[in-house]
Structure 1
Amino acid sequence: MRLIPSSLFGRLTLILVAGMLAAQFTSLWLHMEERQILLAQGYSQIAGVPTRFWMHLALTLGAVIAVALVAVRLVTRPLQRLAAAADAFGRDLESPPLEESGPTETRRAAEAFNRMQGRIKRLVAERSRALAAVSHDLRTPLTRMRLRAELVDDEDLRAQIGADIDDMQAMVESTLDYLRGLRENEAVQEIDIEALLQSLATDEQALGRPVALEAGAVAPFAGRLSALRRALANLVDNAVKYGGAARMRVEDGPDALRLAVEDSGPGIPEDALASVVEPYIRLETSRSRATGGVGLGLAIARDAARLHGGDLRLENRPEGGLRALLILPRRLASADSR
C-alpha cells in the first residue's frame, strides 16, 4: 500500500491537508481550555479570546506560507530541470539524458524528452552518414570530368569547362559544409581569441589580402574553435570580396564577447540586412557571381554564433561599409564548458 501518492497533484494535496490539519490541532491544543475559563469568568465572546489564539493565528499563517513554499518548489523544480536539460541539449547533442525520477507526471515528461533526444541524435547521425556518402559520390564524377576536360584540345573550351567544374565543386563544397552544420560534436575548450584572430589575419595576409587586426588583451573564451574560426573566415572573406579590405575588432566584456569585421564597401540596403543572412540569399546589385560564393557564408557565421548562444548582427557603418558583429555570451559558454 502506497502512503505517498505517485502523482504531483496527489503529493501537493497531501502536503496541504497535512499542514492544515497540523495547524488546526495546534489551535485546538493551544487555546480551547483557556477560552472556556475566560468565558466562565464572565468575559464577553470578543474579550474572551485568549492571547494564545493570536499566537495560533500567526502559527497558522506561517504554516501556510511554509507549505506554499514547499509546494511551489515541488512544482517548479522538475520544470526547471526539464528547461535546463532542453537548453543544454539545444547547445550540445551529447548532453546527458534527463533523470527519470519523481512523480508520475515528471517521469513521463522526462521519458518523453529522452525519447525525443534519442530520435534527434539518431537523425543527426544518419544525416552525417548520408552527407559523407553524398560528398564522396559528388566529388568522384567531378574529378572524372576534370580529367576528361584536360583531353579537350580547344584551350578556350577547356578553360570554360574547367571554370564550370570549379563553380560546381565550390557550390557542392559550400552546400555540404552548410548542411553538415556547426552542431557537430566539437568539444568546448578555452580559446585564446587574440591568438585565433592573429592567426586568421596572418593567413589572409600571406595570401596578399588586406586584413587588419585591432585587438588588445582578451580573456579566454569557452567555445568551439573550428566553428568560430569558420565563421570569422567567412566574414573576413566577405569583407575582402565586397569591401576591398577587412578590419577585425574585439570588444570584450564580462557578459559577452563581441567580434566585429568591418569593410569600406557599398554596404547592404537596410531592408535586406535581416534577409541576407538566410541560406542562398545573395544581393545581385553588389554581390555578383563573378566574386564567387553561393550565399552561405553569412548563414554559416550566424549558425556559429547561435551555436554559442549568441547571434550575428549586420549594420551599415555611418562612414560607409558594412559591420558584421558576432555576439558571443560568456555565461552560456561557461555553462557549456562545465
Structure 2
Amino acid sequence: MEAKLKELVPDLASESFRLGFADDGALNSGDADAYRHMMLVSVRLDDGSWVNFSSTTLGATQHADWSVLTVTICFGVAIIVVAVLLLRWATRPLRDLAVAAERFSLDQIPKPLDETGPAEVRRAARAFNTMRERIQRLVSERMQALAAVSHDLRTPITRLRLRSELMDDEATRDLVDADLAEMEGMIDSTLEFLRGGVSSEAIRPIDIVSVIETIVDDHADQGHAVSLSGTSHGRVLGRLLALKRAFWNVIGNAVKYGTRAMVVVTETPDGLAITIEDDGPGILERDFERVFQPFVRLEESRGRDTGGSGLGLTIARAVVLAHGGEIALANRPEGGLRVTITLPRLAQPEQQLAQVIAGDPVLPHGPTVHTASHSAST
C-alpha cells in the first residue's frame, strides 16, 4: 500500500509519510489479532503538522490455507466412516429382528434371537423371543384341544354310522350316511383351517401334474365332466398332502358350480401355471376378495349339493402362498370362472429346500394374491 501511494504521489517523502498496522496496545484487543484489520496512516503537512487517520483492511484478499483445508476434509471423512460403522453396528440387531419376524413359522422349531446391541434393541429382541414362545405354546395347546374335540366328535359319528346300517329303510339310511359324511367333511375342513399351517409332513420334490391327474381321475370316476391337458410333468418342492388338498378344493369348486371343469397345466419362465376353468355362474366383482375369507359362502343355502364350511378357498390360498406361489381368480368372457395357480418349478433342490424350511418364499419375489372373482367358496 505504501509503495503504491508513493508511486501515485512522488512528492511524499519517507520522513513525511508513514503507514502500518495498528498494534495490540492501540486496539486493546489482546490475542484477537484485531490489528490486522486496521491500518494507521500519518502524513506531515507543509506547515509541519501531522494528520493521522486509520483505514480498515477487511477487503484485503486472503489466500486459503490448503493444508488446513485438507486436514479438515480428512477429519470429516473419518467422522462419516466412524458414524456409518456405528450405525450399522447399532442397526444390525434390528435387521436380524426383521428377518426373524419374516421367517417366523409355526411348523418349525423356534431359534431364539440373539439379544445383542443397544439396550433398547436387546429389549426388543427379548420381547420378540417371548412373544414367539407364547405363540408356539398357544398354537400347541389349541392343536391339542382340537385333536381332543375331533376325537370326541368322531366317536358319536362312528356310532351313528354303525346304527344307520341297522335301518331297514335304505333311503333313510343313505340320507343319514350323507349327513354324517358332511359332518366329517366340515370337521376336517375346520381342523385344517385352524391348524394354521402347522404340519409335520416332510418337504420333498413332487410331480404336481401327477397329483392333479389323480384328483381329475377321482372326479371322473364319480361321473363328473373333468378334463386335464397341457404338460405331462412338472416337479415342485413342497408338502404332498397340503398341495393335494388345495387342488382338490379348487377343482371340487369347479365341478360343484359348473357342468364341466377344464384343467390346463403350462410351463412359465418361473415355474408352472395350473388353470382350472368351469362354466358356472361366476360372482360379482365386489365379492372378489370376500370369497377368500374364512367361513364365507356366497351361496347361503348350505344344501347338500352346494353346502360346505366356506374354508375351501381359504385353505387353498394358504397352501399356495406357503409354497411360494400365487392364486388368481377371473371370470371367463364366455361365462364361468378361471382360477390360475402358479408354483415355482423345482430348481436347485438343495437351495430351494433350505429356503422352504427357513420359511423364505421360494420365488424371488414375495408371495402375492390377485383376486378377480369366484362362483362360490367351498
Q: 2:115 aligns with which of 100, 104, 118?
A: 100
Aligned counterpart, 2:95: 80
Aligned counterpart, 1:16: none
Change (3 A) 1:169 1:200: closer
Task: Pick the structure with more helix per residue.
Answer: 1
Percent of matched pairs sharing the same residue: 46
Aligned counterpart, 1:190: 205
SS of residue paired to 1:221: strand
Aligned counterpart, 2:277: 262
* Letter aligned with residue 142 of structure 1: I
Q: Alpha-carbon deviation of 1:230?
A: 1.0
| Rounded Cα–Cα distance in structure 2 between residues aligned with 1:260 and 1:208 | 21
Is 1:336 aligned with 2:351?
no
User: What is the root-mean-square deviation in Å for CA atoms of aligned residues?
Assistant: 3.4
Aligned counterpart, 1:170: 185
Residues 94-130 of structure 1: CA distance to partner in whole angstroms, max 9, x if unpaired?
3422123333223222221111111111122212221
Kept after mapping to 1: 8 A contact 2:110/2:132 = no
Kept after mapping to 2: 8 A contact 1:182/1:227 = no
Q: 2:76 aligns with which of 61, 80, 87?
A: 61
| Rounded Cα–Cα distance in structure 1 between residues aligned with 2:319 and 2:124 | 30
**Structure 2 unmatched ranges of 5 or more:** 1-35, 37-57, 346-350, 359-378
Q: Alpha-carbon deviation of 1:88?
A: 0.8
SS of residue paired to 1:89: coil
Q: Alpha-carbon deviation of 1:148?
A: 2.3
Task: Pick the structure with more strand per residue.
Answer: 2
Aligned counterpart, 2:369: none
| Rounded Cα–Cα distance in structure 2 between residues aligned with 1:158 and 1:194 | 38
Q: Alpha-carbon deviation of 1:239?
A: 0.7
Change (3 A) 1:337 1:155: closer
| Rounded Cα–Cα distance in structure 1 between residues aligned with 2:272 and 2:171 | 50
SS of residue paired to 1:300: helix
Residues 255-291 of structure 1: CA distance to partner in whole angstroms, max 9, x if unpaired?
5654332212211222222112222222228985423
Aligned counterpart, 1:131: 146
* Letter aligned with residue 241 of structure 1: K
| Rounded Cα–Cα distance in structure 1 between residues aligned with 2:143 and 2:79 | 55
Aligned counterpart, 2:299: 284
TM-score, normalisation: structure 2: 0.67
Aligned counterpart, 2:8: none
* Letter aligned with residue 266 of structure 1: P
Q: Alpha-carbon deviation of 1:73?
A: 1.3
| Rounded Cα–Cα distance in structure 2 between residues aligned with 1:68 and 1:260 | 53
SS of residue paired to 1:279: coil
Q: 2:320 aligns with which of 305, 312, 334?
A: 305
Is 1:231 aligned with 2:251?
no
Change (3 A) 1:259 1:273: same
Is 1:145 aligned with 2:165?
no
| Rounded Cα–Cα distance in structure 2 between residues aligned with 1:189 and 1:295 | 29
* Letter aligned with residue 101 of structure 1: T
* Letter aligned with residue 246 of structure 1: A
Between Structure 1 and Structure 2, whose CA radius of gyration is higher? 2
| Rounded Cα–Cα distance in structure 1 between residues aligned with 2:75 and 2:344 | 46
Residues 205-251 of structure 1: CA distance to partner in whole angstroms, max 9, x if unpaired?
44443333334387743333322221111101111111223223345
Q: Alpha-carbon deviation of 1:74?
A: 2.0
Change (3 A) 1:108 1:158: same
